[in-house]
Structure 1
Amino acid sequence: MSDKGKKKIGVISMARNDDFFIPKWVSYYGNEFGYENLFLVLDGHDQFIPEINASVNVMRVPHLPLGRAAGDKNRARMISSLAKTLFYRFDKVIALDIDEFLVIDPKLGMRLCKYLEKSFSGSSLSALGLDVGQHLDEEKPIDIAKPFLSQRSYAHVSARYTKPVVAHCPLTWGSGFHRVKGKNFHIDPNLFLFHFGMVDFEKSSSKTKDHSRLAQGWEGHLDRRNQLFDLIKTAQVLDGDRFFPEARRRQNLFRPFFAWNKPGTLSEKPVIKIPERFKQSV
């Protein structure tokens, strides 16, 4: 336990060739948990340290030119190991991708840092995953200086992003932080994980032209992710608040038998309208 009974929370992410999400990630989590409690791992000694708050703990590690699947496993093992060491100084650790933002429901009127200081059962905490994309008929290119959710209104409710990103004790994440090895998951009713990888069509399209990514087997993965733009344009949009409890229930109940500790996929690929109260969240 930290001094005076206050729980101290560390946050970890890893990035390579990114100048888009890092400033947003640092600003968001720094404001919530303190910049000195952020740990940003840069994948490769060829990476420039970005101009961010000087209190952020930034480290560069050697880059391994692995394929996408092998790279994901290697990254998960590295971040899991780092998180385990942080538990010597921190009470909880959050680990997620650089384009993922853990958000508390604004209706609680509580900051995320205060909410996570509470005691929770289990080894980890998952948030309901929302894959945010640009509606190409309705929404303009993203303005990085403004809150993302003030410019985007639609998201795919996706089990892929219902991740156990909050660790209450040392543990080992699987590839992409989609599961904790040997442990169950718990989807918190007040937490959401917004994935912004497809928040801007032009930015996303540039990734499909990145020769280094294509050489490492990312083409199929990027093509599947880009399908989100078509899904948002064509899907029958659901009311988010009405669907959220159902999504949590089904992801918890209908798990794949071969991966019992991962949430079940929603086969109809539901797209929801993001409630207005989230507009200033990220």
Structure 2
Amino acid sequence: MQTAAALTMVRDDVFFLKAWLRHYGGLFGRENCYVVNHGRGADVAELARGCNIIGIPGDAHKNFDMKRWRMLNNMVMGLRCYYHHVIVGDVDELVVLDPASGTDLLSFLQGVPANRVLTPLGLEVIHRIDLEPEPVTQAILGPRRHVRPAPHYSKPCVVSVGTKVSRGGHFTRYERLHAPEHLYLLHLKFCDLTAYSTAMNRRNAVAASTGTGVRDAAVGRHWFSEARGDDRAVFQAFQRLKQREAFDMAPLRARMHRSWRPRGQTGYWEFDRPDSDAQYVLPDRFIGLI
């Protein structure tokens, strides 16, 4: 059994795919990376060369997200036959290990028992356009240092047990919460204003091609132009988040454990996911990590 595989699905998001490939390809080797190429994009196929590329049709569908997660669930369960751990998620989500742990992600996973689900703490990398004029060309952490807590992205995404992951990857049918101290999920959607606008233009076009509206589609509201708002205003709002001095995430993990419970009668498990008005500066040890 190999230690770990990484799995994602992507449609033309080359900015985020480059980061995903640098991160997981560097840690696990491209031979252990699985990229579902939605629409069989030539740019995706070229960038992901050396990975396991699965090309699928790119037909627009109002239930795109439901279909996507049904397929990813089945792929995770299949890959578990050959890997102790499978990391699954969107292409703009990267699981990282705090260098303060003294090891890297692969070495860490080699010491984690199988038959469990790990839930990294979610942090959203935000572009402070008033403080960070430098564009992102290669590494993201360095030009970008600010993060905000993102409980919706504290996802149970490191899977080594037979379970089902919900649409969006937010919940699993695994009744214990394992949230290791140094493990994070960095959400990159807001890491760069230009990349954000480019991605949103593309996603709005995909949503429009379904021929349906926000209320009738099993796709996030943010895919639709009517729910988008002004891009620059979204980023300017980050300036109003309260600056916290100490990078201490222990209280956030403690809150996850305190509120851990069944998600109604669905079979899934959850914790409270309150919005946060705080932001933090990542310590220097994170620079260049992704």
- Length-normalised TM-score, structure 1: 0.87
Q: Residue 253 of structure 2 is aligned with which of 248, 251, 265?
A: 248
Q: Residue 62 of structure 1 is aligned with which of 40, 57, 74?
A: 57
Name the SS for the 1:212 alignment partner.
helix
Name the SS for the 1:187 alignment partner.
coil
Return closer, same or farther for 1:138/1:54 CA change in 2, 3 Å cut-off. same
1:238 aligns with 2:244: yes
Name the SS for the 2:53 alignment partner.
strand
1:272 aligns with 2:264: no
Q: After the TM superposition, list the runs of 4 or more consecutive aligned residues in structure 1 that deviate by more than 6 angstroms.
A: 224-227
Kindly provide the CA deviation profile for residues 48-107 of structure 1, in whole angstroms up to 9, marking residues without a partner as x. 44333642111111224123xx32222111111011111222121111111111111111
Provide the C-alpha distance between the structure 2 equivalents of 1:280 and 1:114, rounded to a whole number of angstroms. 19
Per mean C-alpha deviation after superposition, the further-off stretch among 57-66 and 108-117 is: 57-66
Matches within 5 A, 1:39-54: 39-45=34-40, 47-52=42-47, 54=49
AA matched with 1:235: L
Matches within 5 A, 1:1-282: 2=1, 7-45=2-40, 47-52=42-47, 54-67=49-62, 70-120=63-113, 123-145=116-138, 147-181=139-173, 183-210=175-202, 211-215=204-208, 216=210, 217=214, 218-219=223-224, 222-223=228-229, 229-242=235-248, 244-254=249-259, 258=263, 261-282=269-290
Provide the C-alpha distance between the structure 2 equivalents of 1:227 and 1:257, rounded to a whole number of angstroms. 37
Provide the C-alpha distance between the structure 2 equivalents of 1:229 and 1:99, rounded to a whole number of angstroms. 17
Which segments of 5 or more consecutive residues in structure 1 lack a partner in the other structure? Answer: none
Per mean C-alpha deviation after superposition, the further-off stretch among 82-91 and 178-187 is: 178-187
Which segments of 5 or more consecutive residues in structure 2 lack a partner in the other structure? Answer: 215-222
Query: Percent of aligned pairs with the same residue?
Result: 23
**How far is the alpha carbon of 1:239 from its aligned partner?**
3.0
Provide the C-alpha distance between the structure 2 equivalents of 1:17 and 1:183, rounded to a whole number of angstroms. 36
Per mean C-alpha deviation after superposition, the further-off stretch among 151-160 and 203-212 is: 203-212
AA matched with 1:37: N
CA contact (8 A) 2:12 2:44 kept: no
AA matched with 1:16: R
Question: Number of residue pairs matched?
Answer: 273
- Length-normalised TM-score, structure 2: 0.84
Provide the C-alpha distance between the structure 1 equivalents of 2:232 and 2:162, rounded to a whole number of angstroms. 34
Provide the C-alpha distance between the structure 2 equivalents of 1:209 and 1:119, rounded to a whole number of angstroms. 40
Name the SS for the 1:130 alignment partner.
strand
Kindly provide the CA deviation profile for residues 186-237 of structure 1, in whole angstroms up to 9, marking residues without a partner as x. 2221101111111111221233433423415413665599875244211111
CA contact (8 A) 1:16 1:47 kept: no
Return closer, same or farther for 1:186/1:64 CA change in 2, 3 Å cut-off. farther
Provide the C-alpha distance between the structure 2 equivalents of 1:151 and 1:255, rounded to a whole number of angstroms. 35
Q: Which residue of 1 aligns with 2:219?
A: none
CA contact (8 A) 2:4 2:84 kept: yes
Kindly provide the CA deviation profile for residues 122-160 of structure 1, in whole angstroms up to 9, marking residues without a partner as x. 620011101111101111253222x21101121110111
Return closer, same or farther for 1:247/1:197 CA change in 2, 3 Å cut-off. same
AA matched with 1:104: L
Name the SS for the 1:241 alignment partner.
coil
**How far is the alpha carbon of 1:161 from its aligned partner?**
0.8
Provide the C-alpha distance between the structure 2 equivalents of 1:51 and 1:110, rounded to a whole number of angstroms. 31
CA contact (8 A) 1:172 1:181 kept: yes
Return closer, same or farther for 1:255/1:124 CA change in 2, 3 Å cut-off. closer
Name the SS for the 2:269 alignment partner.
coil
CA contact (8 A) 1:129 1:163 kept: yes
AA matched with 2:257: N
